[in-house]
Amino acid sequence: MERVHAVVLAAGKGKRMKSDLPKVLHRVSGQALVTYVLETLRAAGVEDPIIVVGHGAEGVRAIGGPRARFVDQVEQRGTGHAVMQALPLLPQQTQQSDPVLVLYGDTPLLTPDTIRALLEQHRSSEAAVTMLTAELSDPTGYGRIIRDGDGRVQRIVEDADASSEEKQVREINAGTYVYDPAALREALKGLVPHNAQGEYYITDTVSWLLSRGRTVSALLGSPEETMGINSRRELAQVEAVMRRRILEGLMDQGVTIIDPLTTYVHAGVVVGRDSVIHPQCHLEGTTRIGSGCVIGPQARLVDSTLLDRVTVVASTVEGSIVGEGTRVGPYSHLRPGTQVGRFVEIGNFAEMKNATVGDYTKVHHQSYLGDATIGERVNIGAGTVTCNYDGKGKYPTVIEDGAFIGSDTMLIAPVRIGKGAVTGAGSVVNKDVPPGALAVGVPARVIKYVTANTER
Ligand code: UD1
Ligand code: CA
């Protein structure tokens, strides 16, 4: 069976980005440019791509995934030179006809359907190379497809080398090609760096193959998909397209998005059906949202998991897990390591960090729970603070099921409030309070037992 080999060019610095970060590691909708290309290949059924790395090679290798193979292009001498570096990893004599797909790491909008269509056209045309092109209203910066009077492709001319007449051509080279492997090897040998940039251009293989009587085939793709990123302006343009695609994908799966213009969702975020996203929301990183949730207005969720029917209004939730039916906000901040149970109420300037909160507990009104384990059906009064940090170390607080923490209680950790215990308003608790006890004052002392049936 035919096997498709893929070579992804990702070694360039991206000078026009004016950045210390290699271009293909810049992010669109939270994900590196080259990751989109690799995902598209996988979705098109093309496995084990060869990635050509150079600038920031370590970073690119780190996100390539376990199945990718890497080759180094130590000096970046052009796209043709980059493909040459991959030749040792491509099949030699035996599987000669397996096509080689060459594509760039800076074109994240390319879709699996287009890759499949290009491969299909390559098979049926029996060409030496089949390339993807597009008609752009503004082709500035791209290589132009030069055709003869009969519309046959003659060559590709780079923007830097184009005459003013050639610059008028609106059909551009998308930078996605399928080669016959033997033709690719031969054509690469024929490249010379005689151009404005002094580089070995992969694009010159087209005229070289034509001059040897070989067939070159071109597939006209969509302008949107072929957008390559060279500058921060183009990064923002691609971001807008990707954002729209992600939101449309969610809507197609049954998510209501009230205002797509002010909704920002990273690639890979999952949202269950019948969830509603109100305006001004940001869903980022590895966030997963269940079904029937109400998000926003004004929520930022980062690397968090929300189970079904959770509500988050005007709050930030980071690195947290929130159980079914729980309400968060307005104006709350759940920080990393927080795990909230079912039907919990968290609101009005409550902050949590590394806290576990049991089912049906209520935490409102300017409170802080850090390094804390809170049981079920606990009431945290207004202004409660777990004083978890003494300037040197962090200490835990445990509040057992059914406890009632009076307003403005200071819990000097490490400390434990027993099951069903109560603290008086304004108490400063620096010793454990036994189950069922009522502790008041500064420092707090037990004055009586309020619940009879707890284990003392
Ligand atoms: C390239 C094409 C141009 C096309 C455009 C489409 C060439 C000569 N030109 O131009 O015809 O219209 O893409 O977006 O191919 N790279 C390396 N090693 C190198 C040089 C580049 O790995 O030595 C990688 C870059 O990291 C990048 C990709 O190849 O991912 C394309 O390089 P870039 O410099 O962006 O080419 P363009 O000028 O955009
Ligand atoms: Ca480019």
Q: What is the CATH number of the domain that holds 378?
A: 2.160.10.10
Q: Which ligand gives the minimal distance to the CA of 33?
A: 1
Do 173 and 265 belong to one domain?
A: no
Name residues with Cβ closer than 5 Å to ligand 2, which is an ion. Answer: 106, 228, 230
Task: For residue 297, tell me if it sits in a domain.
Answer: yes
Task: For residue 239, tell me if it sits in a domain.
Answer: no
Q: What DSSP designation does 15 have?
A: G
Domain count, the chain: 2
Do 190 and 261 belong to one domain?
A: no
Do 186 and 283 belong to one domain?
A: no
Whether the pLDDT of residue 309 is over 60: the answer is yes
Residues in Cβ contact with 297 at an 8 Å cutoff, skipping those fewer than 6 apart: 278, 279, 280, 281, 313, 314
- Pocket lining for ligand 1, CB < 6 angstroms: 9-12, 23-24, 52, 73, 76-79, 81-82, 104-107, 142-143, 156, 158, 172-175, 201-203, 228, 230
Q: In the prediction, which pLDDT does 452 show?
A: 60
Q: Tokens 């690639």 — which residue?
A: 267
In testing the pocket of ligand 1, which one of 79, 129, 177, 229 has its CB within 8 Å of the most ligand atoms? 79
Residues in Cβ contact with 449 at an 8 Å cutoff, skipping those fewer than 6 apart: 436, 437, 438, 456
Q: In the prediction, which pLDDT does 57 show?
A: 94
> Which atom of ligand 1 is the closest one to the Cα of 52?
22
Q: In the prediction, which pLDDT does 425 show?
A: 98
Q: Which of 205, 221, 237 is the last residue of a domain?
A: 221
Average pLDDT on 58-83 reads 93
Average pLDDT on 310-329 reads 98
Q: In the prediction, which pLDDT does 94 show?
A: 53
Active site residues: 365
Task: For residue 328, tell me if it sits in a domain.
Answer: yes
CA of 351 to the centre of ligand 1 (A): 48
CATH number at residue 168: 3.90.550.10
Q: Which ligand gives the minimal distance to the CA of 24?
A: 1
> Which atom of ligand 1 is the closest one to the Cα of 175?
6
Do 182 and 277 belong to one domain?
A: no
pTM of the predicted model as reported, rounded to 2 decimal places: 0.94
Do 281 and 345 belong to one domain?
A: yes
> Which atom of ligand 1 is the closest one to the Cα of 173?
12
Q: Tokens 């005007």 — which residue?
A: 314
Do 64 and 207 belong to one domain?
A: yes
Q: Whose CA is nearest to atom 16 of ligand 1?
A: 12
Average pLDDT on 131-150 reads 97
Dig out the tokens for 224 from the structure. 């949107």
CA of 13 to the centre of ligand 1 (A): 10
Q: What is the rounded end-to-end Cα distance, in angstroms, of the chain?
A: 74
Q: Which of 195, 221, 247 is the last residue of a domain?
A: 221
Dig out the tokens for 70 from the structure. 């890497």
Task: For residue 118, tell me if it sits in a domain.
Answer: yes
Average pLDDT on 279-308 reads 98
Percent of the chain with pLDDT over 90: 95
Name the most confidently modeled range: 54-68, 88-102, 421-435: 421-435
Task: For residue 151, tell me if it sits in a domain.
Answer: yes
CA of 90 to the centre of ligand 2 (A): 24
Dig out the tokens for 124 from the structure. 């049926």
Asked whether the CA dihedral 121, 127, 131, 134 is positive or negative, the reply is negative
Q: Which ligand gives the minimal distance to the CA of 9?
A: 1
Q: What is the helix (H) or strand (E) element at residue 209, kind and residue range?
A: helix 204-211
Task: For residue 9, tell me if it sits in a domain.
Answer: yes
Do 202 and 264 belong to one domain?
A: no
Task: For residue 232, tell me if it sits in a domain.
Answer: no
Alpha-carbon radius of gyration of the chain: 30
Measured between alpha carbons, how far is 31 from 214 in angstroms, rounded to an integer? 39
Q: In the prediction, which pLDDT does 92 show?
A: 78
Do 215 and 261 belong to one domain?
A: no
CA of 106 to the centre of ligand 1 (A): 8
Do 133 and 267 belong to one domain?
A: no
Q: How confident is the model at residue 61 (pLDDT cuts 50, 70, 90)?
A: very high
Do 158 and 53 belong to one domain?
A: yes
Whether the pLDDT of residue 456 is over 60: the answer is no
Q: How confident is the model at residue 96 (pLDDT cuts 50, 70, 90)?
A: low
Q: How confident is the model at residue 10 (pLDDT cuts 50, 70, 90)?
A: very high
Q: Give the tens place of pLDDT for each residue, 210-259.
A: 999 999 999 999 999 999 999 999 999 999 999 999 999 999 999 999 99
Q: Whose CA is nearest to atom 26 of ligand 1?
A: 12
Whether the pLDDT of residue 454 is over 80: the answer is no
The parent domain of residue 80 ranges over: 5-221
Q: Which of 177, 201, 221 is the last residue of a domain?
A: 221
Task: For residue 56, tell me if it sits in a domain.
Answer: yes
Dig out the tokens for 96 from the structure. 């000669």
Do 277 and 141 belong to one domain?
A: no
CA of 225 to the centre of ligand 1 (A): 16
Q: Answer whether the bond into residue 181 is a cis peptide, omega within 30°.
A: no
Do 269 and 208 belong to one domain?
A: no
